[in-house]
Structure 1
Amino acid sequence: MSAALSTQPLVTAPQLGQLLVASRKRRKLTQAEVAQRVGLSQNRISYLERNPGELSFRQLLSWCSAIGLELRLGERDAVELKNVPEW
């Protein structure tokens, strides 16, 4: 059995991009392999890794599935909300 997976709180788009790249590399997948699984071009995958704020929700869900991530949403503690950047 594999070790328990850790969760990664995300509050900014750049954090999402970093997580997608790190997860892809940890699974030893190329951008081209992810592109094929998601139904996009390798160039688009490269662009979206650098500009994750432009990912559609559908693309994000497909991408997470392709690289073995699970998307979860939950409420943050009040203490954490004090440090949330304004959009």
Structure 2
Amino acid sequence: MPAVLSSQALVTAPQLGQLLVASRKRRKLTQAEVAQRVGLSQNRISYLEKNPDELSFKQLLSWCSAIGLELRLGERGGVESKNISEW
């Protein structure tokens, strides 16, 4: 079973690329295996790992699901978010 990864704060696209690669490798998945799960080519997975700023949100969600990551959003600094009704 893969090691449990604690939450990781990301603020740049390169950090996202590094996280996607590290998570894929930790789960012993090849780019081809991720590509099949996400519905892209292996070449495209390779490209997007190096250029994560070009990932669509839909691709990112599929990718996270394929490699066992959960995407969460929150305010920086751990500040509790306000009630949505206040928006």
TM-score, scaled to structure 1? 0.84
1:4–1:21 CA distance, 2 compared to 1 (3 A)? closer
Aligned residues: 78
How far 1:5 sits from its partner (Å)?
3.7
How far 1:56 sits from its partner (Å)?
0.0
Q: Alpha carbon RMSD of aligned pairs, Å?
A: 1.8
Residue ranges of structure 2 left out of the alignment (5+ in a row) = 79-87
1:4–1:45 CA distance, 2 compared to 1 (3 A)? closer
Which segments of structure 1 move beyond 4 Å, counting only runs of 4 or more? 1-4
* 2:25 aligned partner: 25
Partners of 2:56 and 2:48 in 1: how far apart?
A: 10
* 2:36 aligned partner: 36
Residue ranges of structure 1 left out of the alignment (5+ in a row) = 79-87
Partners of 1:20 and 1:3 in 2: how far apart?
A: 15
Partners of 1:2 and 1:49 in 2: how far apart?
A: 20
More contact order relative to length (CA 8 Å, sep ≥ 6): 1
SS at match of 2:73: coil
The Cα offsets for residues 51-78 of structure 1, whole Å up to 9 and x where unpaired, read as 0000000000000000000000000129
* 2:61 aligned partner: 61
Partners of 1:46 and 1:62 in 2: how far apart?
A: 16
Partners of 2:60 and 2:8 in 1: how far apart?
A: 15
Partners of 1:3 and 1:28 in 2: how far apart?
A: 11
* 1:14 aligned partner: 14
